[in-house]
Amino acid sequence: MPKSNEIEARWWGWGDINKTYEVEKRPTYVPFIEEKLDVEVEHVRTPDPDMSELELRESRLQSDAIDALKKIVGEDNVSTTRRDRVMHAIGRSYRDCLLARMGQIKHPPDAVIFPGSEDEVVELLKLAEDRSLAVTPFCGGSSVVGGVEPLDIEGFAGTLSVDLRRMDKVLRVDVESRTARIQAGIWGPELEDELAKFKVYLGHAPESFLYSGLGGWIASRGAGRQSTSYGKIEEMIESVRIVTPRGVIETRDVPASATGPDLDRIFCGSEGTLGIITEATMKVHPLPQAYDYRGQLFKTFEGGVQAVREILQHGLFPETIRISDDEESSMAMRVRRPSSNPTKEQAMQSALKGLSRLGWSFETGAFAILGCEGKKVDVAVRMKRMQAICRKNGAMPLGKGAGMEWFETRYDNPYLRDIMFGWGVMTDTLETATTWDNIMPLYHAVKKSIRGALADYDSRSMVTCHLSHSYVTGSSLYFIFLGKIARGREIEQWEHVKRTAGDTILANGGTITHHHGVGYEHAPWFEREYGPQGMELLRGMKKALDPAGIMNPGKLLP
């Protein structure tokens, strides 16, 4: 089986070119979108853009620079091919995909480098500093905030994308201490496969899991689907190793320390601006014996939110807990793939009708996923207690079928975005976090702001939200919004929505990002959230480790 990074990837959209979202098998979705957004979907699939038609700036590197790079990493590991440069030119934000479809790949790296060892990374940064080349670290390239785009910044002779995929080993597993030493370039599926050989696993599964890797997760301070129990990536780090232009920093493999400001937490979230993370020791868990994912339907979103808060504050930490609001719940029902067994499907539909008469509806209620993993007994005990709390807050259990349906399709949504582009429908996501007392006010404010911003461009809209990644003191809120693309003003429209939503989040007590990161798309709000003194601090750190400023310029710091 090929590795996950050996697939042929879509250069203008998500994932594997041979995979897609089977929208044809979901008959209620297209009419739903047409009605809600006032669009006409003429062709369910539009032809893919052609890479050979792209106008691409030539590599600015002279042959002596290429030779010097090859001397460090070997002949085969310096690439200036069109495909490699395009694949490393953008991440996978709405803006990225929009520009790619419009043929505007503005910042292809001048070369893509594939180092095979940390020593090579050290040499690469020396060379880059000597020759004024900007360096953007690259792991899976799935950033949705512009984190991997090698921006053209004045003063640099060229840009390098340093792709870590060759540094992809699990170096050591310490089963007794439940830690694993892992190279940063390994992607999700191979990472868990390797760990599984030792009967342990990491449990970090963001939506990008199939096409992203350890270094990127750490650099962008991400969160996986099971973060409610396993924590965000920063909580999984035992120690880290990073190559900076001033040398290597390695923290100690210790469970906790009081030695000054926590270096692990400084590099986590540094987004390649201080150096290239090459290895980390991560906390791992025993491979779960049991998985239990179940659907629940709350009468109201508020009821679901209340249930999640109670579950967390009772000290129950489900691996996954996710409550969709009414708009997301109704969309989930419309995008559903009906059962291939018509009798079964009919039974389900009439059950839903019955439920609806009793007050539980996907149109007005909140569909929830509750997921537990681990030892059988523990999973059973937690699930029972959580279901009781859900019931108390107005939930109707929908059983394991609904849970597994979600589980099995949990990495598919980004493919749907690509299809909807062809329909003239914009889909983007944004996320924040706040304390419990502020969840509902922030929720309403953000939804309203996005709706208004899309209306400004004469678009009807769907703005859905779910609560996920929850904590004792608060939770993340995740928004997905759909609108009609404003032809000829595509970027302007997106910028308007993004700006409106970002301003609303900050004005209403949220953080500009709970797990997507900053990159350059969130940089303006990051600066406001961090504050002028925070930015000074960041500049001070950068000056200390990267005085020439070669590391991922234009990210985090404007």
- Which stretch, 38-46, 396-404, 431-439, 443-451, contacts a second copy (CB under 8 A)? 431-439
Question: Secondary structure of the chain: what % helix, strand, coil (to 5)?
Answer: 40, 20, 40
Q: Please report whether residue 539 would count as binding a second copy according to CB under 8 A.
A: yes
Both tokens of 88, joined, read 């490393």
Site for a second copy in 287-316 (CB under 8 A): 309, 313, 315
Q: Is 201 annotated in the active site?
A: no
Report the candidate in 204, 226, 209, 208 with the shortest Cα–Cα distance to residue 293. 226
Residue closer to a second copy, measured from CB, 472 or 491: 472
Q: Which of 36, 166, 169, 265 binds a second copy (CB under 8 A)?
A: 265
CB 498 within 8 A of CB 446: no
- Which stretch, 134-142, 148-156, 288-296, 517-525, contacts a second copy (CB under 8 A)? 517-525
Provide the minimum distance between the beta carbon of 469 and a second copy in the complex, in angstroms, as a whole number.
Answer: 7
- Which stretch, 14-22, 131-139, 485-493, 540-548, contacts a second copy (CB under 8 A)? 540-548
Q: Please report whether residue 521 would count as binding a second copy according to CB under 8 A.
A: no
Both tokens of 507, joined, read 């004005």
Q: Please report whether residue 119 would count as binding a second copy according to CB under 8 A.
A: no
Provide the minimum distance between the beta carbon of 148 and a second copy in the complex, in angstroms, as a whole number.
Answer: 15
Provide the minimum distance between the beta carbon of 114 and a second copy in the complex, in angstroms, as a whole number.
Answer: 25
Q: What secondary structure does DSSP assign to 147-189, as a single string?
A: TT-----TT-SEEEEEE-TT---EEEEETTTTEEEEETT-BHH
CB 181 within 8 A of CB 281: yes
Residue closer to a second copy, measured from CB, 341 or 435: 435
Provide the minimum distance between the beta carbon of 424 and a second copy in the complex, in angstroms, as a whole number.
Answer: 31
CA 285-291-292 angle, 5° bins: 135
Residue closer to a second copy, measured from CB, 48 or 378: 378
CB 147 within 8 A of CB 220: yes
For residue 350, give Cα distances in angstroms to 26, 27, 334, 397.
Answer: 18, 18, 16, 16
| Run of H or E including 437 | none
Q: Please report whether residue 4 would count as binding a second copy according to CB under 8 A.
A: no
Residue closer to a second copy, measured from CB, 302 or 529: 529
Provide the minimum distance between the beta carbon of 287 and a second copy in the complex, in angstroms, as a whole number.
Answer: 14
Q: Which of 293, 423, 436, 494 binds a second copy (CB under 8 A)?
A: 436
Provide the minimum distance between the beta carbon of 427 and a second copy in the complex, in angstroms, as a whole number.
Answer: 21
* Most distant pair of Cα atoms in the chain: their distance: 74
Provide the minimum distance between the beta carbon of 393 and a second copy in the complex, in angstroms, as a whole number.
Answer: 15
Amino acid sitting at position 324 = S
Phi-psi group of 509: left, alpha or beta (phi > 0 → left; psi -120 to 50 → alpha; rest → beta): left
Q: Which of 151, 153, 266, 290 binds a second copy (CB under 8 A)?
A: 266
Residue closer to a second copy, measured from CB, 110 or 521: 521
Provide the minimum distance between the beta carbon of 314 and a second copy in the complex, in angstroms, as a whole number.
Answer: 9
For residue 398, give Cα distances in angstroms to 189, 298, 344.
Answer: 30, 10, 15
Instruction: State the catalytic residue, choosing from 211, 230, 443, 478.
Output: 478
Site for a second copy in 353-382 (CB under 8 A): 374, 378
Q: Please report whether residue 320 would count as binding a second copy according to CB under 8 A.
A: no
Q: Please report whether residue 440 would count as binding a second copy according to CB under 8 A.
A: no
Q: Which of 117, 257, 341, 346 binds a second copy (CB under 8 A)?
A: 257
How far apart CA 401 and CA 293 sit, in angstroms, is: 8
User: x/- site string to a second copy, residues 203 to 242, per CB under 8 A?
Assistant: -----------------xxxx--------x-x---x----
CA 10-11-13 angle, 5° bins: 65
Report the candidate in 117, 87, 130, 166 with the shortest Cα–Cα distance to residue 550. 130
Site for a second copy in 457-516 (CB under 8 A): 469, 471-476, 509-516
- Which stretch, 204-212, 322-330, 449-457, 523-531, contacts a second copy (CB under 8 A)? 523-531
Q: Please report whether residue 27 would count as binding a second copy according to CB under 8 A.
A: no
Q: Please report whether residue 558 would count as binding a second copy according to CB under 8 A.
A: no
Site for a second copy in 151-210 (CB under 8 A): 174, 176-179
Site for a second copy in 125-144 (CB under 8 A): none
Q: How many CA atoms within 13 Å lie on the side-chain side of 265?
A: 8
Residue closer to a second copy, measured from CB, 122 or 482: 122
Residue closer to a second copy, measured from CB, 95 or 309: 309
Parallel, antiparallel, or unpaired for β 425-435 and 320-324? unpaired
Parallel, antiparallel, or unpaired for β 461-470 and 320-324? antiparallel
Q: Please report whether residue 59 would count as binding a second copy according to CB under 8 A.
A: no
How far apart CA 9 and CA 167 sit, in angstroms, is: 20
Is 366 in a helix, a strand, or coil? strand
Residue closer to a second copy, measured from CB, 118 or 418: 118
Radius of gyration of the chain (CA): 23
How far apart CA 481 and CA 460 sit, in angstroms, is: 11
Tracing tokens 């107005």 back to the chain, one arrives at 394
Parallel, antiparallel, or unpaired for β 237-244 and 179-183? unpaired
Q: Please report whether residue 409 would count as binding a second copy according to CB under 8 A.
A: no
Q: Please report whether residue 334 would count as binding a second copy according to CB under 8 A.
A: no
Q: Please report whether residue 524 would count as binding a second copy according to CB under 8 A.
A: no
CA 196-200-204 angle, 5° bins: 90
Provide the minimum distance between the beta carbon of 278 and a second copy in the complex, in angstroms, as a whole number.
Answer: 14
Catalytic residue positions, numbered: 478
